[in-house]
Structure 1
Amino acid sequence: MPARPAILSDPMIAVLVAATALALLLPATGEARGMAQMVSNGAIFVLFLVNGMRIARGEIARGLVNWRYFGPLLLWIFGVMALGGLAAMQLAQQVLPPLVALGFLYFGCLPSTVQSATSYTSLAGGNVALSVVGAALVNIVGVFVTAPLFAALGGGAAADIGYETIVRIGLILVLPFVIGQALQGWTREWVMERKARIAWLDRGVIGIAVYVAFSGAVEQGLAGLFGAGEWAALLGLVVGFLALAIAGAWIAGGVLGLSRADRIAFLFAGSQKSVAIGAPMAAILFAPEMAGFVIAPLLLYHLLQLVVAAPLASRLALRPR
């Protein structure tokens, strides 16, 4: 049996905590925030360039062929989960600041994680190959789908996804990915040989995006907006969303008649959300003074999904095949 992932030692958790703490203690404000935003945008460009280099075109092709699994998975992630985010936002608006409530719709529209969904699928005895291909395909689709889907469902409450925003997404997310795909024949082997270092590039870019986002929120009085009641409401809504996502993805896999191994892969891909896409995209979609509020539910959801996934995967692994 594969080793159990160590939640508390996950470097990504440490990066998120450190970035948030630094923003609370030493936020980038004024001209410094503008410079930090430029650094963040440059780092995001490099990250998606590398993503284009390392996601094999063959994996994308295999995903497109296996429509019986990937069609329902995409519909679940960008349909059911997005509508769930819309419902959660409407509930959250009753007890939380509007931008924080908007964060539920935002993370509902995001693709699933790559590394953790694959790791927990492996731990639970699921179809790892399917999980790897699915993660690649879902995240590529998310780059193109998340922003317009979020705008369509959010209406006037969402960010203004106008021409300038579309151009920024194209230049900072899509263009480098396409360049990476074009260079893949010459660069993929070099990138794959340095997977450990590339993983730290991922974490570093996400950390920068979170720091810039929360710096803006701190400057706008983040601490003064949250009392004990608001924190309890935020936690309760996130826990409820996660519970429904896990139960729903598992039931959906059963309704689809998937094998147990494929159903496990569907469970983790369908219930987890990607901070690796969410934090950088929020830095592009929202002004710095807004982004920190919007990604607050995503960061909490990301932490809780890891905490819940470890015992869930271990329990699934103990059940008969």
Structure 2
Amino acid sequence: MSLAKRLKRFGLDYYLFLLVGTVVLATLLPASGIGAEIVDQVAYFAVAFLFFLYGAKLNTSAIVAGITNWRLQGLVFGFTYLLFPLCGLILAAALSPWIEDELAIGIVYLSVLPSTVQSSIAFTSIARGNVPAAVCAASTSNILGVFLTPALVALLLHSSGEGISLQSIMDIGLQILAPFILGQLLRPLVGGFISRHTLLTQVVDRGSILIIVYSAFSAGVIAGIWEEVGLGSLTIIIVADILLLAFVMVSTWLAGRAAGLDPADRLTLLFCGSKKSLASGLPMANILFAGQAVSMIILPLMLFHQIQLFVCAVIAQRAGHLADERVQQAATA
């Protein structure tokens, strides 16, 4: 078995090391001056292009079919934009005496983000869940997130003096929602090409995140982020992220059983209702928290992203293996 396959069995891949390497690069060689401006512009258009690809790739009929599953979609929405923010707010308040203010803001910000798109769908597929419903839940979550995430940031962080403007929402819509809609409109022309060339979406997806991480941490290094965030704070954030993910994942599974969802739908709820999007979160943070210590605010999100990939990969592989065994037993019975 190759090293790449062994890493993926444990929720790891080369991209994790690229993320860590990007942070190290930004620490040693941070972009500044005109270089930082160029990196910011490249990141902006890379994210816009990414969401254009999302729009062009997602099957509109699958989204429409999945959205009719009201119980499942309602539960995904409830966990993403109601329970998660409540947990984030409580967790940030409980930890605020021991961590920096920006990290506490980052925990709240993490909790109000939409679900991931590609990984939620991929893990649902690996686990033999309801893929069309996952496509619907993940894409709808991101579309709603353009409006709900800024609104929740304004509501939950108002007392901390953090606010948003109508211009911020318009900027997010222009960078994320508009390209997504354009991709849906042009899907009949370019959808087939994009579906056949999955590497293109993967490169743009991961590349845009790496550029944003480099940009944010370059600014953070210049501002002295590593002098402000100690090992103690970093450890607290990691433990908090693990506890938050564990609580939400257990809650989604129990809620799915209580609601009478079939096993495939419960898996969809598990993966779509418990994950948070780094691809959406980073560009939104650059707009919503412009002029602030963005690198510190996104740190809880970056750590959560890696933890959720690891945990969900292990669970998805196990669930898929069990589903295959049941099919084989039924076929031989």
Q: Which residue of 2 aligns with 1:28?
A: 31
Counterpart in 1 of 2:313?
A: 310
How well do the aligned residues superpose, as a CA RMSD in angstroms?
2.2
| 1:114 equivalent in alignment to 2:107 | no
Q: Does 1:75 align with 2:78?
A: yes
Q: Is the aligned partner of 1:211 residue 2:214?
A: yes
Alignment of 1:133-172 (within 5 A): 133-157=136-160, 159-172=162-175
Gaps of 5+ in 2: 327-333
Q: Is contact 2:67–2:133 with CA below 8 Å preserved after alignment? A: no
Q: What residue number does 1:263 align with?
A: 266
Q: Distance in 2 between matches of 1:72 and 1:194?
A: 33
Q: Is the 8 A contact 1:217 1:288 kept in 2?
A: no
- Structure 1: how far apart are the matches of 2:156 and 2:244? 18
CA shift, 1:158, in A, is 6.4
Count residues in correspondence. Answer: 319
Is the partner of 2:186 in helix, strand or coil? helix
**Deviation of 1:9 (Å):** 4.8
Once residues 210 and 66 of structure 1 are traced to their aligned partners in structure 2, the CA distance between those partners, rounded to angstroms, is: 36
CA shift, 1:258, in A, is 0.7
**Does structure 1 retain, via aligned residues, the 8 Å contact 2:52–2:183?**
yes
Q: Which whole-Å CA distance do the structure 1 matches of 2:264 and 2:241 have between them?
A: 27
Q: Please give the alpha-carbon distance, in whole angstroms, between the structure 2 residues aligned to 1:307 and 1:8.
A: 4
**Take 1:215 and 1:177, find their aligned partners in 2: how far apart are those partners?**
28
Structure 1 stretches lacking a partner, 5+ long: none
- In structure 1, what is the Cα distance between the partners aligned to 2:31 and 2:292? 11
The answer on whether the counterparts of 2:10 and 2:314 sit within 8 Å (CA) in structure 1 is no
Q: Once the two structures are superposed, what CA deviation does each residue of 1:233-288 show, in whole Å capped at 9, x if it has no partner?
A: 11221111111111111111112111112111111111111112112222222226
* Alignment-derived partner of residue 246 in structure 1: 249
Q: Structure 2 matches for 1:278-317, cutoff 5 A?
A: 278-287=281-290, 289-316=292-319, 317=321
TM-score (normalised: structure 1): 0.91
Find the counterpart in structure 1 of residue 18 from structure 2.
15
Q: Counterpart in 1 of 2:40?
A: 37
Change (3 A) 1:153 1:119: same
The answer to whether the 8 A contact 1:86-1:154 is kept is no
> Contact between 2:50 and 2:204, CA under 8 Å: does it hold in 1?
yes
TM-fit CA distance, 1:289: 4.9
Matches within 5 A, 1:82-121: 82-121=85-124
Q: Distance in 2 between the 1:194 and 1:122 partners?
A: 19
Identity of aligned residues (%): 36
Task: Tell whether the 8 Å contact from 2:11 to 2:313 is kept in structure 1 after alignment.
Answer: no
Q: How does 1:181-192 map to 2 (within 5 A)?
A: 181-192=184-195
1:49 to 42, 49, 52: 52
Q: What's the CA shift for 1:211?
A: 1.0
Q: Distance in 1 between matches of 2:166 and 2:141?
A: 25
**Cα 1:117/1:176, change in 2 over 3 Å:** closer
CA–CA separation in structure 2 for the residues paired with 1:202 and 1:311: 22
Cα distance in 2 for residues equivalent to 1:158 and 1:249: 32
Secondary structure of residue in 1 paired with 2:97: coil
